[in-house]
Amino acid sequence: MGIESKSQNIQDYSLKNFRYLVVISLVVILILMGVGLYIVYHDADTIEQHFINEFNEQQLALAKQVALQIEMEIKNIKSELDYLASMDLNSRSSLDVDKIFQAVIKHNQNNGLIETGVFSNNGKVYGNYIDTTFKGIPNSKIPLICNNYPQEMTMTYTRYNMGQSGQQLSCIFWITKIYNTADTVKLYLHYDLKRLIGKVAGEISSGRTGYAWVINEQGWFVYHPHDVYVGEIAYLIRQRYIPDYDLKKINNIMKNDMLAGKYGTNSYHSGTYGELNTSVGKLIAYAPINIDFIQDKKIWSIGVVTPVSEVLEGVLGTTTRHIAAEIAIIVSMFLLGVLIVVYERRMAKYLSRRVTEQKSYLTSILQNTVEAIIMMDKDNKILVWNKGAENIFGYTEKEMIGKTFHRIIPPEVDANQELEKIHEEVATQGYIRNYRALRLTAEGRRITVDLSRTVIRDDEDDIIGSVAIIKDVTREMDVEQRMYNTEKLASIGTLAAGVAHEINNPLAVILGFTDLLKDRFKEGSSELEDLKIIEKNAENAKKTVENLLGFARVSEGEQESVNVNESLQTVISIVESTLIHEKVKLIYEIDENLPDVSGDTREFQQVIFNLINNALAAMKGSEGTLRVSGWVESRRVCVRVTDSGIGIPDLIKPRVFDPFFTTKKVGEGTGLGLSLCYGMIKKYGGSLDFFSHSAEDDPNEPSGSSFTVTMKFAYSYKTEKGV
């Protein structure tokens, strides 16, 4: 019994220990399962948060890009106003002014331009031009408060009630143009903000139903896909439509961050677009739209939002698979490992695909921007060359990737020195803004560009490259150069008039006394010959003085008409013998019965005669071709003189119309010819333009020059003046 009892005790002890082991094992398994489930839950939550953060960063990049595009759209508006302000509308005919503004409306109609016009300093309307295809605003003139604003862009908002569909918000941009103390006008452009901003922000698609909206510096919605929000204060209109929800967070985001011009990401609860009575969680990324080039600098802000549920749709399925994988741990660790590997691969592919899609979208925006956007590495080799760069410079992306800027810099510019200067300034202060430079296109055409460049840094603040935005401003520079030439001619003319009058008086005395002294000496005497030499040189000096006086003359001349055909025939008959002697072939292509133009017949003939003489001088020593052409274009008569001479090099083209500038030898010319011609033509509202190709710039192309005189019809000059 003792032995059996002892054996039984041992069995009971073993069973008891086994039961303890089972219980402990069950507890350990339950603990491990709980830990596993907690890890799975925590991992899923971490993945969700990581996914949300990544998605919001992508939205922020998208918001920044769209903000940049909207800034560029408004900069284009400023360029239009600057262009209109640079034109002397007060001296143009009403028909020309009407054409200018109608062309502006047609050019910007698709961008949201609905109205443009001119106001005087006392509120009088000179012109009011409305896009007749736009139905939202009646054909009435926009009232403006005409204060004495400085000559920089100003803006104001107008709201229109559209009935049940909400409001329509537009914006008026204007600029003050001062012609003189008694004549100050305001040029304005009136834009429909929904069309202006909607063409960029309206295309935003973040997630499945995500969208974008824009608020201005006052907190108004200037753009929203739901029309009832437009023109309303953002943090008030939401409360009106979803009063049962707490909107403090989104209101604080707008007031403290967005209206303060900050970048950022966040989340909030608000109504769903299309279901205003429902509140859902949303992710938001916002970026400022800096309109700092107008008076009282404005800051708008764009918000890109997406429902959180859409972002987490894929992650919720992932969480379910994690829980199933944890249950499978109990069955087989191997199966769990397989499931984890499969899951990670699928997640990696999913995230990679999403990143690729977003990258493709941003790349599409970058490539299709109108301005040239170029990205370089730290060695200044090109990494990105968009469509805008192709349109401006003519080189394809394939031709420029991996290259430097040397091939687009003209040979007369020291490329290494200029690129080093830009590189040093960008590296020192982090950017360079509005740098004007001369560049060369693929066709060999020289253009002037406006360049802004900013460095790109990595997470450790090391420079890894830079990005440049380039705009072709050749046209604007030409306008500025013409204005500069006009002012320069006026100032030099005033100086020349004073000098000429001071010299004319002693010359008259010299010639008078020379004439008296000639009577005292016999013909053939040395004294008489000396006096003749004095008289000849005094006469030459007198002619130079007369040229100076002609250059300085500021009178308007006789407002008479010029018979272009008869005047050209007269000049040709005078130079015909010279053409034969110089063995120059004449091609005469003048339309019959050209209309009369405003001007002085003698001065018009002098201009044509000077242009032909210059052409013959350019062809001297060669059997060249002289072509004289005349035609009617845009209610003006055009006469062109073309030669096959040596041409004008690019380096001296800006000085062609400068007084006293000449490439002829001493004694062959004074340098006043083209200056006088320019002044005569401008006096009657005409223009004198030229284009030339020199063998010095490109010996492989034929050389020659063409000067074109453009004059207004005679009746137009008399009847159509001013705005």
| HEC readout, 138-170 | CCCCCCCCCCCCCCCEEEEEEEEECHHHCEEEE
Residue 628: pLDDT band by 50, 70, 90 thresholds? very high
Please name the residue that has the structure tokens 């001493």. 666
pLDDT at 708: 93
Q: What is the DSSP string of 414-466?
A: -HHHHHHHHHHHHHHHSEEEEEEEEEE-TTS-EEEEEEEEEEEE-TTS-EEEE
Domains of the chain, with CATH numbers?
A: 34-368 (no CATH), 372-471 (3.30.450.20), 473-554 (1.10.287), 557-719 (3.30.565.10)
Are 223 and 230 a contacting pair, CB within 8 Å? yes
For the chain, give the percent of residues with pLDDT over 70: 71
Q: Rounded to whole angstroms, how far apart are CA atoms 393 and 372?
A: 9
More confident residue, 251 or 543: 251
Q: Kindly tell me if the per-residue pLDDT of 433 is higher than 50.
A: yes
Which range among 336-345, 518-527, 645-654, 703-712 shows the weakest confidence by mean pLDDT? 336-345
Q: 583 falls in which pLDDT band (50, 70, 90)?
A: confident
How high is the pLDDT of residue 595? Answer: 92
Q: Is the pLDDT of residue 573 over 90?
A: no
Neighbouring residues of 668: CB distance < 8 A, sequence distance ≥ 6: 617, 662
Q: From residue 472, how far is each of 82, 421, 447, 451, 550 by CA, in Å?
A: 15, 21, 7, 9, 38
Is the model's pLDDT at 719 over the cut of 50? no
More confident residue, 240 or 432: 432
pLDDT, greater one: 393 or 493: 393
SS3 content of the chain, % helix, strand, coil (to 5): 50, 25, 25
Residue 490 pLDDT > 50: yes
Mean pLDDT calculated for residue range 305-311: 82
Token pair 């990401």 in the structure block, residue: 265
Specify the pLDDT at position 593: 87
Residue range 528-537, pLDDT digits in tens:
888 878 887 7
Per-residue model confidence (pLDDT) at position 319: 62
pLDDT computed for residue 301 by the predictor:
93
Which DSSP state fits 294? B
Rounded to an integer, the average pLDDT of 511-519 is: 80
Say how far apart CA 585 and CA 657 lie, in whole Å.
27
The residue among 200 and 718 whose pLDDT is bigger is: 200
E runs forming strands in 11-153? 113-120, 125-130
Highest mean predicted confidence (pLDDT) among 6-20, 176-190, 228-242, 359-373 = 228-242
Q: Which of 80-89, 310-319, 556-565, 702-711 has the lowest mean pLDDT?
A: 310-319
> How far apart, in whole angstroms, are the C-alpha atoms of residue 119 and residue 699?
53
Q: Exposed, middle or buried by CB within 10 Å (0-12, 13-18, 19+), for 678?
A: buried
400-425 confidence digits (pLDDT tens): 898 888 888 887 778 888 888 888 88
| Cβ-count burial 112-137 (b if 16+ within 10 Å, e if not) | bbbbbbbbebeeeebbbbbbeebeeb
What pLDDT was estimated at residue 1? 41
CB 699 within 8 A of CB 444: no
Tens-place pLDDT, residues 122-153:
666 666 777 666 555 555 555 544 444 455 67
Q: What is the pLDDT of residue 663?
A: 62
Q: State percent of the chain over pLDDT 90.
A: 7
- pLDDT bucket at 287, cuts 50 / 70 / 90: very high
Contact between 37 and 323 under an 8 Å Cβ cutoff? The reply is yes
pLDDT for the residue numbered 263: 92
Mean pLDDT of 269-284: 67
pTM reported for the whole predicted model: 0.41
For residue 273, pLDDT beyond 80: no
Which of the pair, 717 or 304, is modelled with greater confidence?
A: 304
pLDDT band at 323 (very low <50, low <70, confident <90, very high): low
Q: What is the DSSP letter of 296?
A: S
Q: Is the pLDDT of residue 274 over 80?
A: no
Kindly state the average pLDDT of the residues 673-697. 82
As a whole number, mean pLDDT of residues 578-603 equals: 87
Under DSSP, the state recorded for 482 is H
Check whether 33 has a pLDDT greater than 90.
no
> CA nearest 343: which of 43, 52, 42?
43
What confidence score (pLDDT) does residue 145 get? 46
Q: What is the mean pLDDT of residues 238-259?
A: 82
Let me know: does 551 contact 493? Beta carbons within 8 Å.
Answer: yes
**Whole-number mean pLDDT of the chain?**
76
User: Which tokens in the block code for residue 483?
Assistant: 């204005």
Confidence class of residue 26 from pLDDT cuts 50, 70 and 90?
Answer: low
Answer whether residue 120 shows pLDDT above 80.
no
Average of per-residue pLDDT across 693-702: 80
Q: Has residue 707 got a pLDDT over 90?
A: yes
Nearest to residue 568, comparing CAs of 532, 544, 524, 604? 604
Taking residues 67-74, report their average pLDDT. Answer: 88
- Whole-angstrom CA distances from 321 to 35, 49, 336, 605 are 17, 18, 11, 93
Determine whether 389 is exposed, middle or buried from the number of CB atoms within 10 Å of its CB (0-12, 13-18, 19+).
Answer: buried
Burial of 306 (0-12, 13-18, 19+ CB in 10 A): buried
Evaluate the CA torsion angle 96, 102, 108, 114 in order and state its sign: positive
Q: How wide is the angle at C-alpha 719 spanned by C-alphas 717 and 720, nearest 5°?
A: 75
Q: Residues 31-36: what's their mean pLDDT?
A: 68
Output 406-410 pairs: Cβ under 8 A, ≥24 positions apart: 407/440, 408/439, 408/440, 408/441, 409/438, 409/439, 409/440, 410/438, 410/439, 410/440, 410/446, 410/650
The stretch 706-716 carries a mean pLDDT of 85
Band of residue 189 on the pLDDT scale cut at 50, 70, 90? confident
Residue type, 271: G
Q: What is the mean pLDDT of residues 372-378?
A: 87
Give CA separation, 713 vs 491, 593, 644, 722, in Å. 29, 13, 30, 16
